[in-house]
Structure 1
């Protein structure tokens, strides 16, 4: 009779005993792409990984949900706290179909040799945010900074233009042009402004509108002294289809392909801005493309100033681009187009930083360097 083997252990598979489940770690949503990581400023990586990686971009949230509770989705950090200035106030500016707020940053008044208030230069600012996001909070400290450093010689005006998609092109642009003219023609006496010493500027979408306004001023005979174009959107038409889709193969800009998935401003975010600002499809171009027409809202150059037919006699420009920004190539080519037409242009590419570097002057050296360049340009062009 066979011996009972009930207590005999089964044969062991040593490979299974040694087996361990692998750790599988997927990158966080909206992480900096691994192939780009080494190219970024280490200080930026620290803050981005702490505050941004793993979160939704605002363009990934339905705009209706964002408008209900912006604070739930907005991430804001890294702006250097600007020094206080003599007076900050707000006024309502009339625009087509309503009014917008303009925030005013004033230095302490100076007296001339006759004891009268000294005339001051003006800087009119248009914030970024793809025409969809942003507001007066974006550049508040920046405006304080430049007023402080101009030592009583400049008043800054920050324009709270209406946003898309509720107010699509050309409404934000029209608001900015209306605000500029209102400040210059109706508020110059109140704020002791010299109407011949005005500058405009902005970042991203704000830089786009500042560039367009420089053309407007030239054609209206207004002696604009300076345009500050920071990471500007200069050519919406060439990189996106009329339906607002990223045309990777058709884009003439290598920086768009290289930085399609970069941090801060991936191509998908720009496509979102295109659809919300311009609608789907975007406005068909006007047949009148041979000359500038301030009254024709459908001319493509008002969307993409790179397409303007006349670049002669524009205001001097300070153009700042970021190496790790899809918009880098078009910003630099726009600067060279200005320069080739005989305009004075100071162009600076900031290395190892993303599209948003200028608003990170509290944590990035490049942001501080940018501030120095802006202040120097304002002094050079407005106080000479």
Structure 2
């Protein structure tokens, strides 16, 4: 072979190797703060994929399985009976899935009264279904050992059914259980609880205020990573108002996973419309933070997640409950993403969430 001549670096030149971060990767500055097990699973299953809010809603509705991915939920233990019934609502009906324990009897052979847990799934009022918390509802009923019946509410979703329809559906469902199903399921209507995550936490908080306003007993509200304020973090047109948002966690976690500020903006626009409804005395049903009174609300168990833009508003909401004299327990989950409660099959913080919720329900819903 002839001896090389000229510029040796040009002889050895190879195409550059370019390393681009995958779409929807965890940002480097936030990466060390997340639970490392979550990082492992997120990088395996989520990084590089489109978030559902990046898909036109019409395309998503045609075939959700093209865009959804599920992992990390622990299977719930089986229970005595699972059925579904239709609940009438304004303009139609919705499905409620009912999880029953085996009946228990007192010393006289009469069936024991049971408490009720009414669940509202998350998903930004746009996504989610009765699949979302199916295993969690089974777990609650199993662990409460015959003392609670769970009702999972399939409220109608935006943008096809914008505010106030999801709120009204959940209120109708609560009252349907309380007034029309108490005898059928042998319920003690003084032992009713509501709960949910994210949008489900928002709906539960609103139901808490509605119960107080109507003098209806409510034994517990479980507010997990709740949306408490849709007014102050966003402009009336649903854009993230970074400069004026009162919650530092929104700026700190603007580009977090799995709930960046852009995803919350998408939910805001679909749930409320663009622009959102004009200001009114009913704004607290959109943003429970704006409720005129926090007095005499039901005992609350509030969870926030360190790596969630909703963290600070959830903690401010809990502080308002406490300042008004309500019984409230606030727990911040370290290193946790917004979705931690649904990852109880892989994350210790998800398991701890289950344990704490069940222990609190045993305290508040048993007689």
Structures share a fold, TM > 0.5?
yes
Give, in whole Å, the separation in 1 of the partners of 2:120 and 2:132: 10
Counterpart of 1:317?
300
SS at match of 2:262: helix
Query: Distance in 1 between the 2:295 and 2:3 partners?
Result: 92
Q: 1:374 aligns with which of 354, 357, 360?
A: 357
Q: Secondary structure at the match of 1:240?
A: coil
DSSP-derived class of the 2:97 partner: strand
- Cα distance, 1:9–1:150 mapped onto 2, change above 3 Å: closer
Aligned position for 2:73: 79
Moved more, 356-365 or 38-47: 38-47
Q: Which of the numbers 344, 361, 367 marks the counterpart of 1:361?
A: 344
Asked whether 1:162 is paired with 2:156, we answer: yes
Point out the structure with max Rg over C-alpha: 1
Q: Report Cα offsets for 1:177-200 as digits up to 9, x if no partner.
A: 000000000000000000111000
Pair 1:339 & 2:322 matched: yes
Instruction: Supply the distance in 1 between the matched residues of 2:317 and 2:336 (Cα, whole angstroms).
Output: 20
Tell me how far apart the structure 1 counterparts of residues 264 and 236 of structure 2 sit (CA, whole Å): 13
| Matched ranges for 1:45-64 at <5 A | 45-64=39-58
SS state of the match for residue 35, structure 1?
A: coil
- Which residue does the alignment assign to 1:306? 289
Secondary structure at the residue paired with 2:33?
A: coil
> What are the residue-to-residue correspondences of 1:66-145 with 2, within 5 Å?
66-145=60-139
Query: Is 1:188 aligned to residue 182 of structure 2?
Result: yes
Question: In the aligned structure 2, how far is the partner of 1:76 from the partner of 1:20?
Answer: 41
Which whole-Å CA distance do the structure 2 matches of 1:26 and 1:143 have between them? 41
Q: Could you tell me how far apart the structure 1 residues matched to 2:219 and 2:190 are?
A: 8
TM-score (norm 1): 0.94
Q: Secondary structure at the match of 2:178?
A: helix
SS in structure 2 of the partner of residue 320 of structure 1:
strand
Aligned to 1:283: 277
Query: Where does structure 2 lack aligned partners over 5 or more consecutive residues?
Result: none
| Structure 1 Cα separation of the partners of residues 168 and 25 of structure 2 | 37
Q: SS at 1:216's partner residue?
A: helix
Distance 1:56 1:111 in 2: 52
Equivalence for 1:174? 168
Question: Following superposition of structure 1 onto structure 2, how do residues 228-247 of structure 1 map, counting pairs within 5 Å?
Answer: 228-247=222-241
CA-based RMSD of the aligned residues comes to 1.1
How many Å separate the matches in 1 of 2:4 and 2:76?
Answer: 75
Q: Deviations over 1:229-281 (max 9, x none)?
A: 00000001000110010111111111000111111101000000000000000
